[in-house]
C-alpha cells in the first residue's frame, strides 16, 4: 500500500500502516533498572554483596505482590485505594489467630487470605451495586478496614508468632530468598491467568472496552467484582508474607503501600485507561523503586528523600504514557487523512 | 459496468424469501418522532442500501433492528416470525450482526481473539488455547479477505482492517443479516474496494446485507435495492435499484422543497468581505482551504457527512490550532489564538453541531447557559457577577427565541431537543458576534422549531450579521443560503450562487459531489475561489 | 432525557396534597440525606449524653469543624473543575513545617510567616495545576506523584524534625475566642463565606464550575479552561495553607505528621454535602454540614467511651451508607420526575 505523500500534513506517516506500540513501558523500566544497577555497582562498593542482594530481594518480593493487586484492578479500568488497609487487616488477622487462638499457621493463613478476598469482593460489589466511583468506594472501605484493624488490635502488634510461620519469611534456596521465588510464582500465575484463561481475558476486555466486552458476552459486573476480590486476595498475600518476614504482625502494615502500588504498575507500562497489563513490567517497576531507595542508603543520602524520587519517577512514567498516547493519536490522524480523504491522489496511485 | 448482469440478479431477487421485514415501525423520543411508520423488506442474499440525510432516522432504525431501542409501534419480523428483540445479544442470537461506525473491539487483544471474542471471554474458567483460537479464526478472516496473521494485535491495524475484523466476528456468530453503518466513511478507496468485494462474496453465500451509506457510487456498485428515509419516514417503498436512476434516487433522498412559506428574497447591498481565508489548514483539516464571507451574507457549506466542513470551521475559531494559511477579518490579517480569542476579541461564534457535548452544560440552569458567553461583560467590582443582568440577558433571549421552559433555573438537560438547540443559539446571540457559524443547527429537532430557527438565521443576516451555515439538509441549504460552497473530501469543490430554485440548485450541488471526477473538480473550484479571494 | 415539567397541566396535577408536595420538596433538596443523619445523631447525643452540651465539648467541636471545613474546601476547589487533589495532605504537612521553621528558626514575625506559608501553598498548587495543564498527564497521577514528591522533599529538608517553640502570640491565636466562639471557627466561617461568594456570585466561580461540568462546552463558549484548572489548584493550595496554619496554631507545634488524616474527610465532607466528584457542582454549606457530621460522630464515639480506633471504621461505613442513600434519593427523584 503506498501513500499519497505530498498531501500529508507533516510527513508523520510511516511507510506501512501497521504501527508499533508499547515499546516504552516494560522494556523502558527494565533498561532503567539495568542503568541504575550499573551506576550503583560502580558508585557504592557495598551495593554488590549477598547481604544487599537479599535486602533488595525481600523488598521487591513484597512490593511486587502489592503492585500486582493494583495492576489487576487498573487493568480492569478501576483502582483500589484499600490495598494497604486490606494487607494490614489480613496481617493482624493471621497474627491474632495464631497468637491469641493458637490456630495452626496454615489455617490462619487461609483465614487471612479469605479476609482479603472478601474485603476485595466487598469493594467490587459496592462499586457495581451503588454505581459510585471505585475511587470513593475504596477510599471509604480503606478507612473501614483500617479502623477494623486498629479496633481489633488497639494498635498493638502480635509478637509471639510460631517459628514455623516465621520460617516462611526466611527460607532460601541456593542463597535466593524464598519469598522472591514465591513472588515470581505469583507473577507467573497472574501472567497465565491474564493471558491464557477466560477469566483474565474477560477482565482485560472489560478494562479495554466495556461496551465491546458486554456485547461479546462478558459478565461485566461479575468481572469487576472478581478483579477486586483478586486484588484483595493479593493484598492479603502481601500482608502475610511481610508479617512472616518481619516476625511480627504489625497493625501498621500497609500504611505506606498506596503510592508504590500505583507507582510500580505505571512505571512498568500498565495502562491507566485499562485493558493492558504487564507482569514483568510491574516487577521491573518494583525493582526500580526498591533500587532507588536502596541506592540512597548505599550512597549515604538521607533516606528521607526516597519519596521525592518515587514521586518524580511516577510523574516521568505518567509523562511517557502520555507521549505514547499522543504519538498514537497523531499517527492515526495522519493515516486517516492520507488513506481516506484523498480519492484523487489515491486513484492515481492505484 | 455490467448493467444487464445486475438487472438479471435483481429480477431473480424477487423470488428469494424475505428474511427481515419491518412494517410501520414508529419510535418517539421526547420532543421528536424519530421514526414514523417506517417499513423495510430485506430478502435473502440481497444487498440493500439504506439512504437518507443526517437525522433522517437511519441510525434509529438500525438501533431498533439490533435491539438497542424498542419500537413504540409496528411489526418486526425475522423470516416471517414476529421477533422480540429486547437487547443486542438477542439480536445476535437471531442471526443479526451489526458493524457500527465506532469500533467495538478490544484493542489490546489479537485479531483472532477479537474475531472469536465470544468464545474467549464466554467461559471464565477455561484455559484459552490461543493457537486454536487463531487457527479457528482464520476461515472467518479469509471470508472477509483479511490478509494478516490472526496473532496480530488489533490496535496496530488500520481502520479498515479493524472493520473487517468486526465483520468476521459477526460471521463467526452465524450472522445471516448483516447491518453495516457507513462502513467506508473512514477508510481508503483501496480498502473500500476490498470491502465491497467482501460484501459481494457474502451475498453469494446468502447473507443479507443492509448497507447504510452516503456514497451513491457505492450504492450503484454493489446494492440490489434501496430504502430511502426522509424526516423519519419512508421516502417511497423499498425498491429495486434497477427501477431508480441516479436522479430519481437523489430526488428521493433530498425530497421536494417543503410547503412552508418561502423566506423573503434577500438583497445584499454591498459585497464587503468580512472574513477571508486563504490556504487555511489544521491537523484535522489538512487541505488548504480558501473562501470569502461577505457582510450580511448567509454562506452555506454543503457536503456529505465527513466532508471536512466542521473541521474547517474549527480551524477558523482556533478550536483546532491552524497549521497554515491566513485569515483576514474586515481586511486586516489576524491570528486567532484560542476560542476565547475568537469570541471576545474577533467576535466569531461557533454553534457546535454536538450541542449535548460541546454546546451546553446540561446540568446547569438555562440562565447560566445563555449568559456563559457574556459573563466577562457582566463582571462588576471584585469580579462579582451581576446576577440581575444575567437573569435579564436570559429573559431577553428566552423571549426572542421563544424558548419554552418552566423557569430560567431549570437545568438545560430537562428541555426538549429543540429548546436545547435554541438555548445553544441564544448563548451565541447574547455574545453579539459579527460572524456566526451554525453547524448543522436543525439536526434532530422538530419541524416547527426548525422553521423558527430558519427565520431567526434569516433575520440575523438581515440585521447585518455574517453567517456561515453548515448543513447537510438540502432544502434548508437552498432555502437559506445566499451562496453555497460545496465540500467533498476536505476540499471546496464548488462555489455556487443560490438562485433558490430547489430542483436546479440541488441538482447542481449533487453534480459537484457525485458527478465530476474529484481531481478536475477540485482544481476548478480552488481556482475560482482563489481568484475571488484576490479580487 | 426526559422532557421535564413543561406543560402547565403537569404542575396542576401535582398540586395534590400539601404533604406530598412538601415531601417532594424535601427529597429534591440536596442536603436532605446529610441533614437527617445530623438531626438523628444530634438528637441521640443530646438525649443520652449530657456532656455533649457542655461548653467545653462544643468548643472542641468548633475547633475540629474549623480545620476540617477548610481542608474540605481545599478539596472542593479542585472538585469544582472535576479533578482530585491527593497531594492535599502532603501540602498541609509541608506548609505547616515551613511555617513552623520560619517562626522558630528564622525568627520571622508570625503574621509574615503565616502569609508566606499560605503563599507557598498557592505556589505548590500552581505547580500542580501547571503540570496537569501543560503535560496532559492524568491529573490523578500528577497529584499522587506530587504528594510523594512534596512529602519526600519536606522530610529530606527537615529530616523529620518538628517545631515546638513557636511564638506565644501565634499559639494564643489557636486558643482565642470571640464572644465565646473560637477564633479559628470564625476564621473558618469567613473563609467559607468567601468561597461561597466565589462560587455563587463571581464570574471566576461560574467559569470554574462550567469547566468542571463540561470542559468541551466551556472551552467552546470562550472560557479559558486551562487557566481555570490552574486557578482551582492554586486556590486549593492556598486553602490547604490556611488549614495547615490553623492546625499548627491549634496544636502549638508543627510536625511532619500534620495533615496525615486529611485525605478521607477532604472527600467525605464535600460529597456528603452534595458536591459532585465529577465536577460542576459545589455546595459550600453542605460541605460544612458534612464536616459537622464527621466531627460529631468522632465526638459522639469519644463521649460513649468507644475506642477512637473504631472511628475510622464507622467513618468509612457511614460515608458509603450516606452516598448510597443519596444515590437512592436521586434515582427516586429522577424516576418520579420530581
Q: Is residue B343 within 8 Å of B430, Cβ to Cβ?
A: no
End-to-end CA distance of chain C: 14
Q: Which of A12-16, B125-129, B515-519, C207-211 has the lowest mean pLDDT?
A: A12-16
In b/e form, how buried is each residue of B23-60, taking b as 16+ CB within 10 angstroms?
Answer: eebbbebebbbbbbebbbbbbbbbbbbbbbbbbbbbbb
Chains that touch A (3 or more CB pairs under 8 A): B, C
In which element (H, E) is residue B4 found?
helix B3-13
Sheet with B73-78: strands ordered across = B32-43, B18-29, B73-78, B81-82
Mean pLDDT of chain B, nearest integer? 83
Rounded to an integer, the average pLDDT of B461-478 is 89
CA distance readout (Å), A3 to A350, B271, B519 = 10, 42, 17
Contact criterion met (CB < 8 Å) for B364 and C224: no
What does the pLDDT look like over B277-328, one tens digit per residue? 999 988 888 889 999 999 999 999 998 767 889 999 999 998 888 888 899 9
- Provide the pLDDT for residue A10: 30
Gap from B248 CA to chain C (nearest CA, Å): 38
Contact criterion met (CB < 8 Å) for B30 and C2: yes
Report residue A142 as a C-alpha cell: 480503606
Phi, psi of B282 (to 5 degrees): -145, 175
What does the pLDDT look like over B99-112, one tens digit per residue? 887 778 888 888 99
The sign of the CA dihedral C102, C104, C106, C107 is positive
Rounded to an integer, the average pLDDT of C309-318 is 86
Chain C partners within 8 Å of A126 (Cβ):
320
Q: Is residue A184 within 8 Å of A287, Cβ to Cβ?
A: no
How many whole angstroms separate alpha carbon A3 and alpha carbon A338? 7
Contact criterion met (CB < 8 Å) for C152 and A311: yes
How many whole angstroms separate alpha carbon A62 and alpha carbon A179? 8
What does the pLDDT look like over C6-51, one tens digit per residue? 444 444 444 456 777 788 777 778 787 788 888 888 888 888 888 8
Q: Tell me which of B350 and B381 has the higher pLDDT.
A: B350
Gap from C235 CA to chain B (nearest CA, Å): 15
- Residues of B in CB contact (< 8 Å) with C are 30-31, 319, 338-340, 342-344, 350, 352, 357-364, 368, 372-373, 375-376, 378-379, 382-385, 387, 404-406, 410, 413-416, 427, 431
Q: Which of A290-304, B54-68, B239-253, B518-532 has the lowest mean pLDDT?
A: B518-532
What does the pLDDT look like over B46-83, one tens digit per residue? 999 998 876 678 888 988 998 888 888 889 998 888 88
Chain C residue at shortest CA distance from B354 = C217
Report residue B133 as a C-alpha cell: 483460537
CA distance readout (Å), A113 to A38, A106, A120, A225, A235 = 38, 11, 11, 16, 9
What does the pLDDT look like over A261-315, one tens digit per residue? 998 998 888 877 788 888 999 999 999 999 988 888 888 888 788 888 888 888 8
Q: Tell me which of B299 and B523 has the higher pLDDT.
A: B299
Q: Is residue C226 within 8 Å of C126, Cβ to Cβ?
A: no
Rounded to an integer, the average pLDDT of C79-94 is 93
Residue A197 pLDDT greater than 60, yes or no? yes
How would residue C1 be classed by pLDDT, with cut points 50, 70 and 90? very low
How would residue A344 be classed by pLDDT, with cut points 50, 70 and 90? very low
Helix runs in chain A, H state only: 25-43, 50-75, 83-100, 105-130, 134-153, 163-170, 178-196, 198-208, 210-215, 220-246, 257-267, 279-298, 306-340, 343-349
Q: Is residue A342 within 8 Å of C187, Cβ to Cβ?
A: no
- Provide the pLDDT for residue C87: 93
Phi, psi of B129 (to 5 degrees): -90, 95
Query: How many residues in total does chain C contain?
Result: 338
Report residue C19 as a C-alpha cell: 404533604
Q: Which of B220-229, B430-439, B518-527 has the lowest mean pLDDT?
A: B518-527
Gap from A145 CA to chain C (nearest CA, Å): 6
Which single residue is written with the C-alpha cell 458576534?
A: B433
Mean pLDDT of chain A, nearest integer? 84
Chain-centre distance for alpha carbon A346: 46
How many whole angstroms separate alpha carbon A113 and alpha carbon A229? 10
- Provide the pLDDT for residue B8: 55
- Provide the pLDDT for residue C13: 47
Among residues B228, B224, B250, the alpha carbon closest in space to that of B237 is found at B228
Among residues A335, A347, A341, the alpha carbon closest in space to that of B157 is found at A335
Chains that touch B (3 or more CB pairs under 8 A): A, C
Contact criterion met (CB < 8 Å) for B191 and A342: no
CA distance readout (Å), A179 to A265, A285, B478 = 20, 18, 77
- Provide the pLDDT for residue B10: 57
Q: Tell me which of B527 and B318 has the higher pLDDT.
A: B318
Residue B108, SS3 per DSSP: coil
- Provide the pLDDT for residue A112: 96
How would residue A109 be classed by pLDDT, with cut points 50, 70 and 90? very high
Query: How many residues in total does chain A contain?
Result: 350
Residue A3 pLDDT greater than 60, yes or no? no
Residue B405, SS3 per DSSP: coil
Chain B partners within 8 Å of A271 (Cβ):
108
> Measured between CB atoms, which of C137, C148, C264 is closest to A143?
C264
Q: Return the residue in B85, B108, B132, B288 with the most chain A beta carbons within 10 A, the one to mutate for interface testing.
A: B108
- Provide the pLDDT for residue C29: 80
Chain B partners within 8 Å of A5 (Cβ):
none
Contact criterion met (CB < 8 Å) for C280 and B361: yes
- Provide the pLDDT for residue A346: 39
Gap from A348 CA to chain B (nearest CA, Å): 10
What does the pLDDT look like over B13-56, one tens digit per residue? 677 888 999 999 998 876 677 888 999 999 998 999 998 876 67
- Provide the pLDDT for residue B11: 59
- Provide the pLDDT for residue A25: 55
Note whether A19 contacts B: Cβ–Cβ < 8 A: yes
How many whole angstroms separate alpha carbon B519 and alpha carbon A32? 52
Residue A138, CB half-sphere, CA atoms under 13 Å: how many? 26
- Provide the pLDDT for residue A335: 62
Report residue A300 as a C-alpha cell: 549515604
Note whether A262 contacts C: Cβ–Cβ < 8 A: yes
Q: Please give the ipTM for the structure prediction.
A: 0.83
Q: Is residue A18 within 8 Å of A335, Cβ to Cβ?
A: no
Report residue A102 as a C-alpha cell: 493458637
- Provide the pLDDT for residue A13: 31
In which element (H, E) is residue C24 found?
helix C18-28
How many whole angstroms separate alpha carbon C277 and alpha carbon C19? 33
Among residues A241, A240, A249, A242, the alpha carbon closest in space to that of A96 is found at A249
B359: DSSP letter: I
Chain C partners within 8 Å of B339 (Cβ):
219-222
How many whole angstroms separate alpha carbon A242 and alpha carbon A254? 9
Q: Is residue A119 within 8 Å of A225, Cβ to Cβ?
A: no
- Provide the pLDDT for residue A270: 82
Q: Is residue C207 within 8 Å of C218, Cβ to Cβ?
A: yes
- Provide the pLDDT for residue B419: 85
Chain C partners within 8 Å of A132 (Cβ):
320, 323-324, 327
- Provide the pLDDT for residue C291: 92
Percent of chain A with pLDDT over 70: 87
Residue B284, SS3 per DSSP: coil
Residue A343 pLDDT greater than 50, yes or no? no
Rounded to an integer, the average pLDDT of B477-481 is 89
Phi, psi of C290 (to 5 degrees): -60, -45
Amino acid at each position: 500500500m503506498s501513500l499519497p505523500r505530498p498531501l500529508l500534513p507533516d510527513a508523520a506517516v510511516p511507510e506501512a500502516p501497521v504501527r508499533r506500540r508499547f515499546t516504552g513501558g516494560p522494556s523502558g523500566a527494565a533498561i532503567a533498572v539495568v542503568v541504575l544497577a550499573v551506576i550503583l555497582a560502580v558508585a557504592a562498593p557495598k551495593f554488590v554483596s549477598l547481604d544487599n542482594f537479599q535486602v533488595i530481594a525481600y523488598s521487591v518480593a513484597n512490593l511486587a505482590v502489592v503492585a500486582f493487586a493494583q495492576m489487576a484492578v487498573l487493568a480492569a479500568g478501576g483502582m483500589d485505594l484499600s490495598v494497604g488497609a486490606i494487607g494490614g487487616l489480613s496481617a493482624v488477622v493471621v497474627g491474632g489467630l495464631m497468637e491469641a487462638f493458637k490456630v495452626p499457621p496454615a489455617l490462619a493463613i487461609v483465614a487471612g487470605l479469605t479476609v482479603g478476598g472478601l474485603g476485595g469482593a466487598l469493594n467490587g460489589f459496592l462499586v457495581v451495586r451503588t454505581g459510585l466511583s471505585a475511587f470513593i468506594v475504596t477510599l471509604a472501605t480503606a478507612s473501614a478496614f483500617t479502623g477494623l484493624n486498629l479496633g481489633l488490635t488497639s494498635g498493638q502488634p502480635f509478637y509471639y508468632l510460631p517459628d514455623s510461620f516465621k520460617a516462611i519469611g526466611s527460607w532460601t534456596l541456593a542463597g535466593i530468598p524464598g519469598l522472591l521465588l514465591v513472588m515470581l510464582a505469583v507473577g507467573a500465575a497472574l501472567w497465565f491467568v491474564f493471558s491464557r484463561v477466560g477469566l483474565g481475558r474477560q477482565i482485560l476486555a472489560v478494562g479495554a472496552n466495556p461496551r465491546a466486552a458486554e456485547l461479546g458476552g462478558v459478565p461485566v459486573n461479575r468481572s469487576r467484582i472478581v478483579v477486586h476480590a483478586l486484588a484483595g486476595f493479593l493484598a492479603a498475600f502481601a500482608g502475610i508474607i511481610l508479617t512472616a518476614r518481619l516476625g511480627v504482625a504489625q497493625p501498621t502494615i500497609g500504611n505506606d503501600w498506596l503510592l508504590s502500588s500505583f507507582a510500580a504498575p505505571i512505571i512498568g507500562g500498565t495502562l491507566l485507561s485499562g485493558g493492558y497489563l504487564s507482569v514483568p513490567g510491574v516487577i521491573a517497576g518494583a525493582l526500580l523503586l526498591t533500587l532507588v531507595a536502596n541506592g540512597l542508603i548505599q550512597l549515604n543520602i538521607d533516606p528521607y528523600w526516597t519519596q521525592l524520587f518515587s514521586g518524580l519517577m511516577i510523574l516521568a512514567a505518567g509523562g511517557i504514557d502520555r507521549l505514547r498516547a499522543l504519538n498514537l493519536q497523531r499517527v492515526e490522524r495522519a493515516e486517516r487523512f492520507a488513506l481516506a480523504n484523498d480519492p484523487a491522489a489515491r486513484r492515481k496511485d492505484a | 459496468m455490467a448493467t444487464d448482469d445486475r438487472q438479471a440478479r435483481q429480477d431473480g431477487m424477487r423470488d428469494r424469501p424475505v428474511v427481515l421485514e419491518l412494517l410501520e415501525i414508529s419510535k418517539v423520543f421526547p420532543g421528536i418522532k424519530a421514526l414514523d411508520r417506517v417499513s423495510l423488506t430485506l430478502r435473502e442474499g440481497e444487498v440493500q442500501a439504506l439512504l437518507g440525510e443526517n437525522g433522517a432516522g437511519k441510525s434509529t432504525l438500525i438501533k431498533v433492528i439490533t435491539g438497542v431501542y424498542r419500537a413504540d409501534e409496528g411489526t418486526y419480523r425475522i423470516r416471517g416470525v414476529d421477533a422480540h428483540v429486547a437487547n443486542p445479544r438477542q439480536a445476535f442470537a437471531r442471526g443479526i450482526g451489526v458493524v457500527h461506525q465506532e469500533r467495538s473491539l478490544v484493542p489490546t487483544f489479537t485479531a483472532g481473539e477479537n474475531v472469536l471474542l465470544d468464545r474467549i471471554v464466554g467461559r471464565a474458567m477455561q484455559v484459552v488455547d490461543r493457537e486454536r483460537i487463531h487457527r479457528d479464526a482464520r476461515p472467518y478472516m479469509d471470508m472477509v479477505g483479511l490478509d494478516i496473521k490472526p496473532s496480530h494485535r488489533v490496535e496496530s491495524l488500520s481502520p479498515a482492517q479493524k472493520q473487517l475484523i468486526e465483520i468476521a466476528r459477526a460471521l463467526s456468530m452465524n450472522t445471516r443479516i448483516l447491518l453495516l453503518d457507513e462502513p467506508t466513511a473512514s477508510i481508503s478507496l483501496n480498502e473500500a474496494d476490498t470491502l465491497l468485494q467482501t460484501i459481494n462474496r457474502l451475498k453469494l453465500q446468502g447473507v443479507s446485507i443492509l448497507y447504510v451509506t452516503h456514497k451513491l457510487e457505492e450504492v450503484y456498485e454493489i446494492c440490489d435495492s434501496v430504502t430511502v428515509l426522509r424526516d423519519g419516514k419512508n421516502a417511497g417503498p423499498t425498491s429495486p435499484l434497477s427501477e431508480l436512476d441516479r436522479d430519481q434516487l437523489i430526488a428521493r433522498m433530498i425530497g421536494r422543497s417543503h410547503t412552508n412559506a418561502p423566506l423573503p428574497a434577500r438583497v445584499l447591498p454591498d459585497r464587503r468581505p468580512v472574513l477571508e481565508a486563504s490556504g487555511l489548514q489544521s491537523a484535522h483539516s489538512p487541505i488548504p482551504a480558501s473562501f470569502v464571507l461577505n457582510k450580511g451574507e448567509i454562506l452555506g457549506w454543503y457536503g456529505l457527512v465527513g466532508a471536512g466542513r466542521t473541521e474547517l470551521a474549527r480551524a477558523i475559531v482556533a478550536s483546532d490550532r491552524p497549521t497554515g494559511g491566513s485569515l483576514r477579518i474586515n481586511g486586516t490579517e489576524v491570528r486567532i489564538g484560542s476560542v476565547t480569542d475568537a469570541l471576545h476579541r474577533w467576535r466569531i461564534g461557533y454553534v457546535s453541531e454536538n450541542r449535548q457535548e460541546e454546546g451546553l452544560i446540561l446540568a446547569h440552569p438555562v440562565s447560566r447557559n445563555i449568559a456563559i458567553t457574556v459573563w466577562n461583560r457582566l463582571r462588576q467590582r471584585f469580579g462579582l457577577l451581576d446576577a440581575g443582568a444575567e437573569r435579564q440577558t436570559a429573559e431577553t433571549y428566552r423571549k426572542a427565541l421563544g424558548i419554552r421552559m418552566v423557569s430560567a433555573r431549570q437545568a438545560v438537560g430537562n428541555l426538549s431537543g429543540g429548546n436545547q438547540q435554541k438555548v445553544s443559539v441564544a448563548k451565541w446571540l447574547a455574545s453579539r458576534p459579527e460572524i456566526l457559524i451554525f453547524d448543522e443547527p436543525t439536526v434532530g429537532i422538530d419541524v416547527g422549531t426548525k422553521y423558527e430557527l430558519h427565520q431567526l438565521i434569516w433575520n440575523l443576516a438581515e440585521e447585518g450579521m455574517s453567517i456561515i451555515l453548515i448543513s447537510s439538509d438540502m432544502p434548508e441549504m437552498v432555502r437559506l443560503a445566499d451562496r453555497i460552497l460545496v465540500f467533498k473530501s476536505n476540499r471546496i469543490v464548488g462555489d455556487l450562487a443560490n438562485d433558490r430554485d430547489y430542483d436546479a440548485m440541488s441538482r447542481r450541488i449533487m453534480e459537484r459531489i457525485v458527478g465530476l471526477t474529484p481531481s478536475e473538480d477540485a482544481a476548478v473550484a480552488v481556482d475560482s475561489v482563489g481568484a475571488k479571494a484576490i479580487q | 432525557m426526559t422532557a421535564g415539567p413543561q406543560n402547565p397541566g403537569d404542575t396542576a396535577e401535582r398540586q395534590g396534597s400539601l404533604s406530598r408536595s412538601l415531601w417532594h420538596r424535601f427529597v429534591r433538596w440536596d442536603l436532605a440525606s446529610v441533614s437527617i443523619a445530623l438531626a438523628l445523631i444530634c438528637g441521640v447525643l443530646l438525649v443520652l449524653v449530657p456532656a455533649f452540651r457542655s461548653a467545653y465539648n462544643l468548643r472542641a467541636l468548633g475547633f475540629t469543624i474549623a480545620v476540617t471545613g477548610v481542608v474540605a474546601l481545599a478539596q472542593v476547589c479542585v472538585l469544582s473543575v472535576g479533578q482530585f487533589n491527593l497531594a492535599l495532605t502532603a501540602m498541609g504537612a509541608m506548609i505547616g513545617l515551613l511555617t513552623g521553621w520560619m517562626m522558630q528558626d528564622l525568627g520571622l514575625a508570625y503574621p509574615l510567616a503565616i502569609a508566606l506559608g499560605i503563599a507557598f501553598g498557592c505556589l505548590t498548587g500552581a505547580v500542580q495545576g501547571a503540570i496537569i495543564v501543560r503535560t496532559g498527564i492524568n491529573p490523578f497521577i500528577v497529584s499522587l506523584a506530587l504528594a510523594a514528591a512534596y512529602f519526600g522533599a519536606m522530610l529530606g529538608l527537615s529530616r523529620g524534625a518538628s517545631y515546638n517553640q513557636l511564638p506565644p502570640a501565634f499559639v494564643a491565636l489557636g486558643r482565642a475566642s470571640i464572644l465565646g466562639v473560637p477564633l479559628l471557627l470564625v476564621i473558618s466561617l469567613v473563609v467559607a463565606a468567601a468561597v461561597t461568594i466565589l462560587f455563587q456570585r463571581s464570574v471566576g466561580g461560574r467559569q470554574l464550575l462550567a469547566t468542571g461540568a463540561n470542559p468541551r462546552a466551556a472551552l467552546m463558549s470562550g472560557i479559558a479552561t486551562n487557566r481555570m484548572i490552574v486557578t482551582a489548584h492554586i486556590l486549593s493550595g492556598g486553602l490547604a495553607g490556611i488549614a495547615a496554619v490553623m492546625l499548627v496554631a491549634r496544636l502549638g507545634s508543627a510536625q511532619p505528621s500534620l495533615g496525615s488524616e486529611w485525605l478521607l474527610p477532604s472527600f467525605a465532607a464535600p460529597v456528603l454535602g452534595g458536591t459532585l466528584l465529577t465536577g460542576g457542582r459545589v455546595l459550600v454549606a453542605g460541605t460544612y454540614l458534612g464536616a459537622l457530621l464527621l466531627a460529631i460522630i468522632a465526638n459522639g464515639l469519644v463521649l460513649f467511651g468507644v475506642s477512637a480506633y473504631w472511628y475510622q471504621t464507622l467513618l468509612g461505613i457511614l460515608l458509603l451508607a450516606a452516598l448510597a442513600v443519596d444515590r437512592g434519593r436521586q434515582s427516586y427523584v429522577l424516576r418520579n420526575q420530581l
